[in-house]
Structure 1
Amino acid sequence: MTKKKVTIRDVAKEAGVSVATVSRLINNISYISQETEQKIQEVMKRLDYQPNEIARGLAKQKSNTIALIIPDITNPFFPELVIAIEEFAKLKGYNLILVNSHDADLKDPRFWKDFQSRYIDGFILASFDFNEEVLKGIEKLKIPFVRVDRAADFQSNDSIGVDNYKGAVIAVEHLIEIGCQKIAHISGPGSFSPSIDRIRGYKDTISKYFPNQSPIVFQGDFSMEAGKQLTQRMLEEHPDIDGIFLGNDMMAIGSLKALKILKIQVPADIALIGFDGIKITEMVEPELSTINQPIYNIGVAATNKLIHFIENTQDTNQYDLDVRLIKRESTLGFIRK
């Protein structure tokens, strides 16, 4: 026979107090006498009463739940980010809800209205091309949020990320150091801040080392398929390319696949370098050189900043969020013609 669940009313009746008094104790929202508190605690323990966490959250207007909104759970960058955020949130007493949504969803006012009804304390936004109208709509929710990766805006205090411009410069300079003389770039969407900074870093470096050469930029969408298709198209238009800097590792893997189909040797004929440092870059053949982002540290820093926003406390922590070059086979075996 199923045991009947003990309710707050059962506790109140047994302790000889009102339901409101028990609620005040559970939610710690006002003073009750030490004698009354002890009596209620004894009854709760004897009856094995477990407070309803959702109800507690509603009473305190705090659910100890944060959400992470990402654009593509199939991209290995984001599961690595999720692990970091979930582990740190749990350490701080918060639960995590994962929301996989596309730009179209986030630009729909109904999405945010539904989102508000979930009683989320705050959220981390790792996707989405902001415009002023949508940003104002999000701010009207009065829910703390932090932006990372594609959503980051480093003019704002609510963003966590890396120096994408610096990473791009390092990537292109590495291709130049190994002997590449005609380097192209396959970027992410031109409206995303990281893409803009990586394009700028690429163009400035090409202008510095090859002032008579025009930059070659093809715009992708951070997907493997974009890397594959744009590499094929790029080589049709510019067959003398000998180095490609990809806006992320997934596009670099797609580019590698395209070059294998075309029977072009990597790195002997064309050197490839990506951006992100996801683990799968070590599992392809040849292994991919990349600009490594400290993904775990980004997740921890973003979560910590968000919790400080939620709790109205100051974040004094310092995090190592610098990018670094990882040299692997896709560049180190390049043969200068």
Structure 2
Amino acid sequence: MATIRDVARLAGVSVATVSRVINKTDSVNPETAGQVLKAIEQLQYEPNAVARGLAGKKMGIIALILPDILNPFFPALARGVEDVAHKKGLTVILGNSDDQGLKESSYIKVLKKKYVDGFIFASNTILEEDVEALRKEQIPIVLLDRGLNTASCAVIRSNNREGSKLAVKHLVEQGCQKIAHIYGPQEFITARERMLGYEEIAGRLREYSPSLMEQGNFDIESGQKAVEQLLVRHPDLDGIFAGNDLMAVGALKALHERGIPVPEQVKVCGFDGIGLTEITEPELTTIAQPVYEMGGLAAQILLDEIESGTRENKLIELDVTLIPRKSTHKEES
């Protein structure tokens, strides 16, 4: 494998001159630069990425830290980030934090040594001190989906409260009067906003009671267990709004195992719009987030910061869409 010294020797110049041509840091005589480029092509020399990055302050690499890559919501988010980054010639390094703040801090420490150009965190557990430390070091950062409310950087997510209100209103329009809510972990701002939206609409119903709420953990198993508990307290409930689609799938499973027909006896609505909702039985009504677009927007904002050196500090909430399906609407025969 050719080295920079081989290029310099073949071109008849110094190593420093070759470095200046590669990194375009200083003007080099056009004839000399041509000799260097010819030598690079002849030797098929590939400049060291780290050396190039140290000289130009940019490595062409961004880091995306997700909480749970097994949740179908996050691969779609990652795809949006990766597609935009790829079009700009950047590479995305993916990390899985398992919603552990210390693990995220460890990622930051290690990846900074790899000279990444910026970070995107889809995280609830990112520490505010980590955000501030990255800011002080002039490293671009964007928080995606679950980020802090008051972070000194761009935060992108969907309008969770309005989405949950849309879900509950839909269940009411379908005739539901006693609507339960399976909410996610309350340390997640997305879960809190969705619960608040549920309470705002369901709280107006005559059959409303705080005991119609049960916590889940944004996965299928906890959704199933939540419904089991809800049915003990309220066997006559006729609607369920789950704080995400995976918990809604768990709700469908629990109802099916008890022989409770959906949507004839209980109607179910989820939140996220993951592909799995199209293949459940019955197909699941959901509040769809613009997941791919959120990822793409996060990448674009980060890349703009990397290129311009400016720093964004704003909250962007994207609109959501109700997708009605068979789990809330009985087909007419």
Alpha-carbon distance in structure 1 between the residues aligned to 2:129 and 2:52: 34
- State the 1:148 CA deviation: 1.1
Residue aligned with 1:102, SS: coil
Q: 1 or 2 for the larger relative contact order (CA 8 Å, sep ≥6)?
A: 2
Matched residue, 2:77: 81
Q: After superposition, what is the alpha-carbon deviation per residue over 1:54-105, rounded to whole angstroms, capped at 9, x for unaligned?
A: 3312332321111111111111111111212111100011101110112325
| Identity rate, percent | 46
Q: 1:241 aligns with which of 230, 237, 241?
A: 237
Root-mean-square deviation (Å): 2.4
Alignment CA distance shift 1:161-1:181 (3 Å):
same
Structure 2 gap ranges (5+): none
Matched residue, 2:182: 186
Matched residue, 1:119: 115
Residue identity opposite 2:324 in structure 1:
K
Residue identity opposite 2:323 in structure 1:
I
Q: Retained in 1: the 8 A contact 2:153–2:311? A: no
Q: After superposition, what is the alpha-carbon deviation per residue over 1:116-165, rounded to whole angstroms, capped at 9, x for unaligned?
A: 21211111111223454454455455421111112253776511111111
For residues 214-229 of structure 1, the aligned pairs below 5 Å read 214-215=209-210, 216-229=212-225
Matched residue, 1:51: 47
For residues 1-337 of structure 1, the aligned pairs below 5 Å read 5-106=1-102, 109-140=105-136, 142-151=138-147, 153=149, 157-207=153-203, 209-210=204-205, 213-215=208-210, 216-312=212-308, 321-333=318-330
Q: Retained in 1: the 8 A contact 2:177–2:207? A: no
- State the 1:107 CA deviation: 5.7
Q: Retained in 2: the 8 A contact 1:147–1:153? A: no
Residue identity opposite 1:175 in structure 2:
L
Residue aligned with 1:332, SS: coil
Residue aligned with 2:328, SS: helix
Alpha-carbon distance in structure 1 between the residues aligned to 2:140 and 2:214: 36
Residue identity opposite 1:326 in structure 2:
I
Residue aligned with 1:203, SS: helix
- State the 1:331 CA deviation: 0.3
Q: TM-score, normalised by structure 1?
A: 0.90
Residue identity opposite 1:328 in structure 2:
R
Alignment CA distance shift 1:65-1:134 (3 Å):
closer
Q: Retained in 1: the 8 A contact 2:124–2:187? A: no
Alpha-carbon distance in structure 1 between the residues aligned to 2:66 and 2:126: 14
Deviates more, 1:34-43 or 1:264-273: 34-43
Q: Retained in 1: the 8 A contact 2:277–2:283? A: yes
Q: TM-score, normalised by structure 2?
A: 0.91
Work out the number of aligned pairs and report it: 328
Residue aligned with 2:34, SS: helix
Q: After superposition, what is the alpha-carbon deviation per residue over 1:25-57, rounded to whole angstroms, capped at 9, x for unaligned?
A: 111122212121111112222222222223312
Alpha-carbon distance in structure 2 between the residues aligned to 1:334 and 1:192: 36
Alpha-carbon distance in structure 2 between the residues aligned to 1:35 and 1:312: 32
